[in-house]
A and B are shown apart, each in its own frame.
Chain A
């Protein structure tokens, strides 16, 4: 079967729903036709939480099409208000229902008059932005709504907390290892003597959002979601933010040094002392994290100079590229991201750490790039893992789109010092190891003797006759794929459709010449 279509980021309403269902006691209502409400299924399957996903669909059926929504959406909002007593109800259309161009803001205005909860319409253009951008936008909208509301009610308290504190912005449901990363960040900040003021949206209450400005600074671990909120808080309340992702030894140290700089602005005045995190960084890097010595150990030597390809969201792809290039001595032949809206930042981050950069959301382009480069390992999303399987190249998954495998029961963070251990393991275990390499060579591979027919071109016009297939079978498994590809490439270049043993040898001669 041929995979016809794949999207790295989902449609906009998924982003909105992820933010809404990350908050506690927030209900989301989708104005959607039947079938667009798969979010509930997806989330309850992946996150394995105790509670039901607080998302309801107000179905766009033939009555709505023939008559307009009339009272339906408003009724559904008030019904949920009475049933669940949420703090906030978020209404969102989907791509399909936004074609109808119904005035949902009007429904929201009417419903908010009769309900106890707050009601807002997620203000997102469904045909312009993707899941990640919509999540970023919705989070900012919710934060802005509650801060402005607190301002009107004169409940806004702008004084800083007594001890240094931070908000962590952008941890949310269905994120790539977000829960584990969050625990690791909490531990990191605690070690530094910094209190957690709030973590949003995951597990946060919207009623507490008015206390966000009390923190000394904001920490945005992933730039895909949370940056807009941090920018808003900086503009309105002068709150500084740190968006360096603490992933990998080098960037963790960078991040901690930035935290130190922010904390030391106020601490001499408020606490009468200055913080110095350098001893902490030194101790963690040299004695706690295993990654630093491991990457210099004999085990890792056979990774040096091996080729890898990286692809993922901007945050993870950039960080992993830097880790591979700077910390593990692996040659990154190509790195790329599907976050086309963040291209400029991404290029700036990785430009000196890789041979080429690919910015695309077309999985076939990524597949072709990997097939062309033939790296020893891929670090990508579930899509690249799929490509890797077809090309017989190992792949470590480092970024969303997520899969049930990315919700491990064990502790698997990517951020912080424990994250460096996990990443080192992932990288090391992804490559075919040194001894394994030799043994494969000696014993002719560990796979079966069938001819590999896996290749990226599904509609091949080349035929192998029985002698050449037999010859192919004699070739050790671990290089068989490569030889098959090279032979087919040679055949295509010379307009040969039937591959015989002679053609194979000609291809070999051609290649070595």
Chain B
């Protein structure tokens, strides 16, 4: 099973991805996490250091694929998760999307692509171009990370649009949203009402998650020393269990940008009106009867 994780920049995609990867591994699956961001720090908390990227390795071998061995690019991380970093050009040069495609090609040639029960792509921010949509070509499920804010939901809506586009030609489904660092979920609920999709889990704002990132460790590793954090791991195990149950998933129908703007801003600007609107249809129904 292949999963692509998307979401607004800085929302905690990598942190969440690493923890989900371990959770899946805990359930006895063979997991590979592929970082598809030129920043190449997706798997940092799994390995504890910045591993060499595929492009670094290919460059050093002058693109002689036959000289590249799986152990050159696939690194063992914490909790038996394997890790790959695609890497990419410095900002403003080359083509980051090309690198994502090249990574998948190489992994296929190394036969690594089919060895795993789960491959999890951790992709940068948004679906910015065809290259960064490449993981969607291979994925069975897309997961969107969001918080209870406007920007993240706006990004989520754009990603939903990409999923719908890809789902026309690929067997891709949206598994759902994961709320991160959010104590309230009213805006998420409002969005899901307008654009129906499952909400897999909502993680509250937990200081220890932030600390784990700084320490370069996953929550599962921190639990070994701080058993009190076990409840946080349960969030991730819950997500993993939902994925492993092979949910049906959905093909989302994104909300047009303008509508989304008014939908989310009205929510706070005119809270009374929304209540009225809810009452109105009832009245009309009553009149008709």
Contacts and interface: CB of A to CB of B under 8 A. Distances in A.
Interface in A90-149: 99-103
A66 B102 contact: yes
Contacts of B55: 66-67
B89 A68 contact: yes
B93 A68 contact: yes
Contacts of A66: 55, 58-59, 87-89, 94-95, 98-99, 102
Nearest to A66: B55
Q: At the interface, is chain B mostly helix, strand, loop or mixed?
A: loop
A66 B58 CA distance: 10
A68 B102 contact: no
Contacts of A102: 92-93
Contacts of A62: 63, 98, 102
Contacts of B95: 65-66, 99-100
B28 interface: no
Contacts of B90: 67-68
Interface string B92-108: 11110011001000000
A64 interface: yes
Interface residues of A, number: 14
B177 to A, nearest CB: 32
A102 B89 CA distance: 12
A90 to B, nearest CB: 22
B92 A67 contact: no
Contacts of B59: 63, 66-67
Interface string A60-100: 00111111111000000000000000000000000000011
A48 to B, nearest CB: 38
Size category, B interface: 10 to 19
A87 B58 CA distance: 39
A374 B55 CA distance: 60
Nearest to A100: B95
Nearest to B88: A66
B89 A65 contact: yes
Contacts of B58: 66
Interface centre among A63, A66, A100 (most CB of B within 10 A): A66
B93 A69 contact: yes
Contacts of B94: 64-69, 100
Contacts of B99: 65-66
Interface string B59-96: 10001000000000000000000000001111011110
B102 A67 contact: no
Nearest to B95: A65
B61 to A, nearest CB: 12
Contacts of A100: 93-95
Interface string B180-213: 0000000000000000000000000000000000
Q: Which of B55, B90, B95, B99 has the most CB of A within 10 A?
A: B95
A68 B99 CA distance: 12
Contacts of A68: 89-90, 92-94
Nearest to B101: A65
Contacts of A63: 59, 63
Nearest to B94: A68
A156 B87 CA distance: 53
A33 to B, nearest CB: 11
Interface in B1-50: none
A240 to B, nearest CB: 46
A102 B91 CA distance: 10
B220 to A, nearest CB: 33
A64 B95 CA distance: 8
Residue among B63, B88, B89 with most chain A CB within 10 A: B89
B104 to A, nearest CB: 14
Contacts of A64: 94
Contacts of B87: 66
A69 B89 CA distance: 10
A65 B90 CA distance: 11
Contacts of B98: 62, 65-66
Contacts of A103: 92
A100 B55 CA distance: 18
A94 to B, nearest CB: 15
| A65, A68, A100: most-surrounded residue (chain B CB, <10 A) | A65
A67 B89 contact: yes
Nearest to B56: A66
A70 B88 CA distance: 14
A62 B63 CA distance: 8
A99 B128 CA distance: 13
A70 B87 CA distance: 17
Nearest to A61: B63
A273 B28 CA distance: 102
Interface of B: 55, 58-59, 63, 87-90, 92-95, 98-99, 102
Interface of A: 62-70, 99-103
Counting from the closest, the 4 A-B pairs by CB-CB distance are A68-B93, A68-B94, A65-B98, A65-B95
15 contacts: A62-B63, A62-B98, A63-B59, A65-B94, A65-B95, A66-B55, A66-B95, A66-B98, A67-B59, A67-B93, A67-B94, A68-B90, A68-B92, A69-B94, A100-B93
Given A63-B59, A67-B94, A103-B92, 6 more contacts: A63-B63, A65-B95, A66-B89, A66-B102, A101-B92, A102-B92
